[in-house]
Amino acid sequence: MKLFKTHNFKEEFKTGDFSFKFYYAGHRLGASSILVECDGKKIFFSGDLGRKNDLIMYDAHPPVPADYWVVESTYGSRNHTESDPIEAIHQVVLKALEQNSVLMIPSFAVGRAQTILYCLNEIFKKYPHIKIPVYLNSPMASKVTHVYLKLKKEHKLCEEDCRDIFSFVNIIETPDQSKALNLKSGPMIIISASGMISGERILHHLEAFGSDPNNMLMFVGYQAAGTRGSKIMKGEKSIKFHGHYHQINSQIISMDFFSAHAGQSEILDWLNSAKEKASMVFLTHGEPESADTLRLKIKDEIGINTIVATENLEWDL
């Protein structure tokens, strides 16, 4: 960590022959688009782009003038469902209470966990009669909450909001506390990493509660191809982890509108917001179908020649 240097947004700095400038990307705290300049050429990298009108983060800074844009394409082939996220979770919480369910929410520790807590806090404020214990079982997620208080200018939450969304939740710190959580019964809500069920403590909760059809497993983010989360979303019932196959009979709920990645129309709107357009776009960070669909959209609707970056592709600038 001693080797890292920090720079503010829009502050130009140099490394050798290259100059850099960060721009607010809205994906999560610190997420940046990056302008790189060398030998008179400019390349603007979108990085992970945040959603428009996000609950917590501000909108991403528009693309800046550059010769080339390198843009993510995670959701290049589809848009997010238009829903009220707070009301959507409210309905799930009511169902969990009615069924005495354990509601498991696999969540990325940075950004997504805090958004879910914000929604739950809004529900509890609006409906004070709702009583259900909430557990945040991710040491990283609990530590990140302090960063929100430190960097208040980089998100929409005031200090009171920041403190409120972490005041009602039970923080699980130690492995013993995590194990003890598996001995409890519903109704309760467990938020735990990892978001794609690729590892960490959510696996232990899935092992304890996943076989019960009365319990619920709610996905609140993108599930990359090949991950356990993706397999469960596709209907697979037998999932291998901890060296064994486990039966997953929980009720599966998908809320893709919680993704922190911009959808197709949001990416196109973001590109169109630029004052000057690049001569070419390279697409990265997306499944092949997603990237190619976005490539055609950008070419046809915005009129910029667009290429999907593939392994070993070289381009002479």
Q: At 108, phi and psi to the nearest 5?
A: -65, 140
Q: Treating both helix axes as pointing N-terminal to C-terminal, what angle do 264-272 and 288-297 enclose, rounded to 10 degrees?
A: 40
For residue 148, the model assigns a pLDDT of: 84
Residue 63: partners with Cβ closer than 8 Å, 6 or more residues away: 33, 44, 46, 69, 270, 271, 273, 274, 278
For tokens 């039970």, name the residue. Answer: 170
For residue 211, the model assigns a pLDDT of: 94
Can you name the residues that pair with 21 across neighbouring β-strands? 35
| Residue 306 contacts residue 280 (beta carbons within 8 Å) | yes
For residue 3, the model assigns a pLDDT of: 93
For residue 259, the model assigns a pLDDT of: 81
Other CB atoms within 10 Å distance of the CB of residue 38: 14
Tokens of 4: 């890292």
Classify 85-258 by CATH class.
alpha beta
For residue 64, the model assigns a pLDDT of: 96
Q: At 239, phi and psi to the nearest 5?
A: -120, 135
Tokens of 267: 């990416």
Helix (H, G, I), strand (E, B) or coil at 160: helix
For residue 264, the model assigns a pLDDT of: 96
For residue 144, the model assigns a pLDDT of: 75
Residues of the chain with confidence (pLDDT) below 70 = 142
- CATH topology assigned to domain 13-79+261-308: Metallo-beta-lactamase; Chain A (3.60.15)
HSE-CB for 313 with a 13 A CA cutoff: 10
Could you state, in order of their start, the residue ranges of all structural domains in the chain?
A: 13-79+261-308, 85-258
